[in-house]
A and B are shown apart, each in its own frame.
Chain A
Amino acid sequence: MSQTAEIINEELIRSLAPNQNAITNARKISSSGGFITLYQTDGKDLIFGECKGSGKSNYQTSVDFSGDAPVFRCSCPSRQFPCKHGVAILYEWVNGKTFEVAEVPEDVAKKRDKIEKRKVKEATTSQPSKTSLAAAKKKLQKQLEGLELAETFVSDLLNRGVSSINGSSSTSYKNLAKQLGDYYLPELQAIMMEIITAAEDLSKQPDDNEINRLVALCVRLSSSVKKSREYIQIKLESDNVALEDTILYEAMGGIWKLSQLREIGLYKENARLIQLSFQVIHDDMHQANIETGYWIDLDSGEISRTENIRPYKSAKYIKAEDSSFGIYYIPDLYRYPGGINRRIRWEGMEQKELEEKHYSEILAKTEESIGAAVKKAKNELKNTLSKEACAMLFPFERITFAKEDGHGVLEYQGERIALKETAHYPETCKVLSVVPEELLERGALLGEVFYDNSRRQIYVCPLSIVTESAIVELC
């Protein structure tokens, strides 16, 4: 899907810029005449120019629209991608500056060639080579060894008791966790570190809820170890190292490439998606902000999620995601392995404004009943490797509030379920209680279903409300 620079507009720039600072700085560069030269190719599939910067020589900046998505290139040393110069040249275009017509520069032409060659290579080589097969096996073997370490850790911790960690044992556990970094098991390493940190905190300030969370983490770690070991052993015995549609790969810390997802058939063509909610979750276990969006597939009704993971340390170099209000037409939608709320990704897409019919389509895709939705959710939540909550679209006739403590109650066809906030969405119930009453009648509510241990009950944490004419976000 080739594009041209004609698609550049403010909205596109905002969606491509890594953060607000980049936009502000890019605007400054553009308004202060930072670009000395500006060029475009005849077909407008490439814009490029020379920009003044703090370095001795000027920076060569270009934006290439010849592929599925715009490709930014700049000779500046910034780690931020795209850099402010890349964003600034887009502003030059939007501001109607004159771009002289020129040939594609040699270095860009070379890079384009390289991409083409890589694509051809990827398309022709479907089978892994002998070397990569051996390397994959070696990696699996190494992971197996790492799993032994993790198991020893859980076993040792449970034998001694999770609340018995002290200074010296915590140091040796930390060393163990560091070692796990050599075994290609980053996710298990993150859980281990979280357990150790939480246990250290517990030794300073005992807390029953925290102890239970810690035990639950141990269970999660142990389950991951067992299931992963089983999975690896089968792979090694059968001599088949190809990736499969299983969440274990990610549970061990593997990162899917889109090409891998395509290989195992985890993609869908021509998807239509609408975002129902967006929130930034602070995930201390992974030391990252996770920009989480819940999306509905207008054809299947499936609720999927996007996750843009921005580690605290490098957040400013990674493009931030934001809420989206349109309908996305996605030629190739990639789906990660999983149950409810699979993670999804895409490269190219076309965004259009929402029309009223789209809201009706969303409302037609709600769960059949509260009971049926909860049943599905329970099946998901039972799995120790699943997330603690799963998002579902509930239909409702009305949302009311309990006389006793003011908590929200969602009602549909005689069934009622209580609404309650979670740690990730602490304010949404309060927000729901002050929205206009017309929003609380006959609509759909996107909510995360979760099990509350202390009350032994299933609750829904409200995220957004869908009506015939709007999506009202509560977070």
Chain B
Amino acid sequence: MDINTFYELRTRLYATAAAGCGLIEEDFRLKRAIEAFQPMAAANKVFGRFYQMCMSLFTTENVAGTLVDCIALADALAVTQGSFQDNSECVEGCKEKNEIKLQPQKMLHSTLQDLIDRLTADKRKECKYNKNDTERILDPRIFPIFIDSLIKKDRALEEIAEVIFPKLGDGVIDLLKEKINYEDTSAKNKTAYYVRLISKFYGEKENDWYVSLVENEENPKSIRIEAVEALGCSMENAQKLAELYKTQKAAIKNQVLWVLAKLNPPEAEDIWKKLIEKYKESNDKYIYASKSDICAEFVRKRFLEKMESWEEAYQKAKNGEKLSLIHQYTNREEITCMLGRKYQFSDCFCMIADKLEMMRNVKKNLTKEEYVVWKADINQVLILNLMEKEQEYETLVKEVYEAHKDFYFPARFFLALKELKEEAFEVFQEEIRLYRYDTLQVLGNIRYNRIQEKYLLEWNHPACYEGFNTWDESRICAFESIPESYFSYLTETDYIENPANRMPKFQIQYTLNRTLWILDPAMLGLEENSREYERCKQTLISFAFQINKVYSIGNEIDRIERYYMNGDSSEYRGLVTNYVMGVVSQGRFSSWELRYLDRFPMTQGEKQAELIDLKKKVSQMSEIKQGLREDVIKVIDMKLQRIQND
């Protein structure tokens, strides 16, 4: 008995349904299949019935109905015939594949799905992860998705990988390698990034593999470039890189140069020498980035030439000519590139600070805003150098700070936070008050990291770091928990209340806005309901109430509305009055300014009292125009009337 005749007939029935049974008499393949099945019909009653039913397809008037019945019976018979015994040769637990073993976790489906949704979300959508997620990702239902998600180049995901990969052993390397697509030769081959990840987490262990990737010219260019970058993980590869520089061409060769600039091995000295001898402008960026002494000398010469041209421009400006040279962005970018990674350049740093200071004092030369941008960029170079954890850069920062405290305080304070953590507030107590703007600039870069459960000081890398993978270096731990000295510094109001220390008006506004922003738990990245969140929130609320009394800027009342709506109704008394007085004193007002009165949980009576109080105070304000005063009072009266009507 050949059971295949049954399956063949079933297939033919499906084919007839697909093609249409209108012309079934001409369907010779079906007829032949039924004939071939005939011997089976005698073997068993159900097969017999099936055969008869198929035969009736050619005689019945209701062909479609009969065809459906035939298929339904064929399906049922197929299920009955289906075998289940599996005789494959087996191994226990995939031992041969060196697969990693993961621990399933008791997890709600919604929790699981939420994490999967975050991992698979579009790259542009910012997803937050916390320490619990690092545990959850070890669940076998999530881990493969996590490996796929690494291609998003999300910093938080890589941090998670840093935590969990060591727990899983080297089996992960194979998983990461499997993700690389060697077929995609386009420059956008994102899977090349897995090479970088392997180098990041497993470093020199895979040196031979990186070399094989670079040397195999059939590999896509994007993968070979990443493999060159991967070789930068160890000084051991210097000789190989120097060889590759000689044997490779174009983009691969350029990438080798970047890596040599970063590693600065003695093997590269000849290369730099030749590059300088046969100077080409296109090589500037590699020479600028190199830490070698030979390049530093070359760059110093170029830098001094620039400074000379600045001097000429300065002299012209003194004579009333408008400068354009130092205002150009490209110029600033080039100079920051020159100064990057140059611990030998303390004299150059001092020189540029001098020059900028000098030019700032000449009208039509360097505006206040331009000076601030220059200062921020030059300090940024020093800060990024500090991230590299090399002693020479720390010495450099200290040296230049001693010579130009005013200019280099941001970098010095950054170094202080790095070295002294919370003690920095004590050691630099005078300076942080003197240079409050710079201090707030630095503190504004502190973020809470939910994975490491620490506050990190983060910095974006400037243009001079193009071509470098500096993610790891651009963050340092500031503190585990916010120190009280941090809160007390931020929440002091001496610069408003003490006439001796009072800042100019625009600086007060900037400082208060920036402080409210720095204290905001959401901006810091804290998780709602966590202890740190509550601490920060409480500090923010009390500071907001305090400045509402002494110098309302509007932002504080927004923060109160956002973070403190469950207080006793009496606590909100005076808030709106102070706010509106602040607005009116600036010579402006609209009925919209009274919106907070409806937002805070106050009783009707309290609202009325608040408005009467405000009206009284506004009518006593002598420094505002009569028209404005009348307008404000009119709006207050209308509001009062509306409350009475309600």
Q: Give A residues with C-beta under 8 Å from B.
A: 20, 31-33, 52, 151, 154-164, 211-212, 214-216, 218-219, 222-223, 278-280, 320, 322-323, 325, 370-371, 374, 378, 381-384, 398, 400-404, 406-407, 409, 415-418, 427, 430-431, 433-437, 439-440, 451-453, 456-459, 470, 472-475
Contacts and interface: CB of A to CB of B under 8 A. Distances in A.
Given A155-B64, A403-B90, A435-B104, A280 B78 contact: no
A415 B85 contact: yes
Nearest to B68: A222
B78 A161 contact: no
29 contacts: A31-B566, A158-B21, A158-B68, A163-B18, A211-B18, A219-B72, A278-B109, A322-B109, A371-B84, A382-B75, A383-B76, A398-B92, A400-B90, A401-B90, A402-B88, A402-B90, A403-B96, A409-B88, A416-B85, A430-B144, A434-B100, A434-B102, A434-B143, A435-B101, A456-B7, A456-B82, A456-B83, A457-B83, A458-B82
B479 to A, nearest CB: 27
Contacts of A402: 86, 88-90
A369 to B, nearest CB: 11
Interface string B18-35: 111110000000000000
A457 B84 contact: yes
Interface in B36-93: 62-65, 67-68, 71-72, 75-76, 78-93
B165 to A, nearest CB: 15
B103 interface: yes
B141 interface: yes
B68 A223 contact: yes
Contact of A437 (B65, B78, B86, B93): B93
Given A160-B20, A382-B79, A433-B99, 14 more contacts: A33-B565, A33-B601, A151-B65, A162-B18, A279-B109, A322-B110, A323-B109, A409-B88, A418-B88, A435-B102, A436-B103, A456-B82, A456-B83, A473-B141
Contacts of B18: 161-163, 211, 214-215
A214 B80 CA distance: 22
A159 B106 contact: no
A278 B72 CA distance: 31
B84 A161 contact: no
Given A163-B19, A434-B99, A440 B92 contact: yes
A280 B101 contact: no
Contacts of B80: 378, 382
B566 to A, nearest CB: 4
A409 B144 CA distance: 22
Contacts of A431: 104, 140-141
B20 A161 contact: yes
A335 to B, nearest CB: 24
B91 A280 contact: no
B645 to A, nearest CB: 13
Contact of B78 (A219, A222, A279, A453): A453
Contacts, number: 184
B500 interface: no
B20 A164 contact: yes
Given A32-B565, A159-B20, A474-B141, A215 B102 contact: no
Contacts of B76: 382-384
A404 B64 contact: no
A404 B144 CA distance: 22
Interface extent on B, as a size class?
Answer: 35 or more
A160 B63 CA distance: 12
Given A161-B19, A401-B94, A427-B141, A458 B83 contact: yes
Interface in B468-499: none
Nearest to A455: B82
Contacts of B68: 154, 158, 218-219, 222-223
A407 B566 CA distance: 58
A456 B300 CA distance: 78
A259 to B, nearest CB: 30
Interface in B553-591: 565-567
Contacts of A374: 84
Contacts of A459: 84
Contact of A370 (B72, B84, B92, B100): B84
Give 6 closest A-B pairs by Cβ, nearest first. Answer: A161-B20, A33-B566, A400-B90, A402-B88, A32-B565, A158-B64
A438 to B, nearest CB: 9
Contacts of A162: 17-18
Contact of B140 (A219, A403, A434, A437): A434
Contacts of A457: 82-84
A20 B84 contact: no
Nearest to A157: B64
Dominant SS at the A interface? mixed
A291 to B, nearest CB: 8
A433 B84 contact: no
B82 A378 contact: yes
Given A31-B566, A219-B71, A322 B108 contact: yes
Contacts of B141: 427, 431, 473-475
Contacts of B566: 31-33
Contact of A215 (B22, B71, B87): B71
B517 interface: no
B75 A216 contact: yes
Contacts of A403: 88-91, 96
B14 interface: yes
Nearest to A159: B22
A451 B82 contact: yes
A214 B72 CA distance: 13
A436 B101 contact: yes
A439 to B, nearest CB: 8
Interface in B84-129: 84-94, 96-97, 99-104, 106-110, 113-114
A156 to B, nearest CB: 8
Contacts of A404: 88-89
B65 A222 contact: yes
Given A154-B68, A158-B64, A159-B63, A378 B110 contact: no
Contacts of A451: 78-79, 82
Contacts of B94: 401, 406, 433-434
A262 B359 CA distance: 91
B22 A440 contact: no
B17 A401 contact: no
Contacts of A473: 104, 141
Contacts of A407: 88
Contacts of B19: 161, 163-164
A464 to B, nearest CB: 9
Interface in B140-164: 140-141, 143-144
A280 B89 CA distance: 34
A244 B63 CA distance: 33
Contact of A158 (B67, B97, B601): B67
Contact of B21 (A32, A159, A219, A400): A159
A28 to B, nearest CB: 9
A457 B140 CA distance: 28
B331 to A, nearest CB: 50
Nearest to A52: B601
A288 to B, nearest CB: 16
A436 B95 CA distance: 11
A219 B84 contact: no
Contacts of A33: 565-567, 601
Given A158-B68, A434-B101, A212 B14 contact: yes
Contacts of B100: 434
Nearest to B6: A456
Contacts of A398: 92
B400 to A, nearest CB: 49
Contact of B91 (A320, A400, A436, A453): A400
A307 to B, nearest CB: 14
Contacts of B7: 456
Nearest to B70: A219
A325 B67 contact: no
A435 B93 CA distance: 8
